Amino acid sequence: MTNREIVAERRVSSLNRLTGNVIALGNFDGVHRGHQALLQAAHDLAIDMRLQYYVACFSPHPKHILQPSEGFFELSSLPQKEEHFQQLGAAGTLALPFDAAVSRMSPREFCDWLWETTKPRAITVGCDFHFGNRRAGGPAYLRDYGQRAGTLVKLIDPSRDREGEAFTSEQARTALSLGDIDRASDLLGYRYRVEAKVIHGAKLGRTLGFPTANMELARGSKLCAGIYAVKFKDGAGREHDGVASFGRRPTVTADGLSLLETYVFSYSGDLYGQTCTVTFVKYLRPELKFDGLPALVAQMKRDEADARVALAKASLNVSGEHCVAHPLGASGAGISYLSSGETR
């Protein structure tokens, strides 16, 4: 198993190399600063026990199965989570398949399955984690099961901000739905980003002098409609400054689907079909309806200017703003989640 492998199977025979180690257990949506503290605890425990640590999380997120009609706003895809986990020292990711049958498991059945699959020497888990049918199982159940199985279960208290509020995925979702990028960055410890393929659009932006890379976000996304200063990473991994619009484009269509449209500064080329990443740096203004295309173009020029200013300011703050350090023990290496969403 490579240190970047995602295991998405229940077969014990395919998981032999992760057995007998430390498991960090949770959903980890967004891998926010509270999650990072839990993962750091797992990393430190693994070093003390001379083991490796793996992350076990459900895939898909349980809310996709349990509340399918509500359109769950998921902050991070499984590959994005796995990237964070690896940067935080995890040896690999165990993606526990979640479906209706798993949701009906009793706490005992779930623990039997988890222990049979991973044979953990130790588990770290948040004090608010619940599992099993109707969320009947919790940290206390895990701890008691672990005592019977000879497994150390370490319960991790929530990490809190300066005001004493616990870091939660729901807080980050709320901040993003309000366009509060600074608050979301503070909660996550990095800048929120999305990844999707660039698709063909109506090409109106090209006609107006602002060609855009168009991307459809996940159905449940509740990102605030509006204009953003962004960093855009193309399929080759090259990063560019840009300004993005997310919304239904009310000036040009009455019933458009929500799209993320990014005007990438100083770029010429074909992005269609490339999987690209947009990192949100600053919310500039809400989505508006204009009285015609000339008024829209004039505002787009102002948006470009505002985005350039915001991105220049952000580059000056990158060394300190929203920085969460994670020393990685024996290797002497360190990971910092920076305000740009990049790691160094």
Place of tokens 């799209």: 259
pLDDT at res. 218: 86
CB 21 within 8 A of CB 54: yes
pLDDT at res. 336: 32
CB 304 within 8 A of CB 202: no
Q: Give this prediction's pTM.
A: 0.83
* Number of CB atoms found within 10 A of residue 169's CB: 22
Q: Which of 344, 268, 263, 248 is nearest to 308 (CA)?
A: 263
Return the exposure string of 102-133: e unless at least 16 CB atoms fall within 10 Å of the residue's CB, then b: bbebebeebbeebbebbbbbbbbbbeebebbe
What gap in Å lies between CA 77 and CA 93, rounded to an integer? 13
User: Can you tell me whether residue 194 is helix, strand or coil?
Assistant: strand
pLDDT at res. 307: 97
Concatenating the DSSP letter of every residue in 55-101 gives EEEEES-HHHHHSGGG----S--HHHHHHHHHHTT-SEEEEEE--HH
Concatenating the DSSP letter of every residue in 93-121 gives EEEEE--HHHHT--HHHHHHHHHHHH--S
Residue-by-residue pLDDT tens, the chain, 344 positions: 333 344 444 333 345 567 899 999 999 999 999 999 999 999 999 999 999 999 999 988 988 888 886 788 999 999 999 999 999 999 999 998 888 888 899 999 999 999 998 999 999 999 989 998 888 899 999 999 999 999 999 999 999 888 888 899 999 999 999 999 999 999 999 999 999 999 987 766 667 778 899 999 988 899 999 999 999 999 999 999 999 999 876 555 656 578 899 999 988 888 999 999 999 999 999 988 877 788 888 999 999 999 999 999 988 765 334 334 343 332 322 223 332 233 22
What domains, with CATH codes, occur in the chain?
19-159 (3.40.50.620), 191-317 (2.40.30.30)
pLDDT at res. 230: 98
User: Can you tell me whether residue 234 is helix, strand or coil?
Assistant: coil
Angle 239-242-244 from CA coordinates, rounded to 5°: 125
Q: Which of 123, 126, 148 is nearest to 45 (CA)?
A: 123
What gap in Å lies between CA 36 and CA 41, rounded to an integer? 9
pLDDT at res. 334: 29
- Find the distance separating the first CA and the last CA of the chain, reported in whole Å: 25
* Number of CB atoms found within 10 A of residue 283's CB: 21
What gap in Å lies between CA 341 and CA 344, rounded to an integer? 10
Strand 53-59 to 92-97 pairing: parallel
pLDDT at res. 317: 66
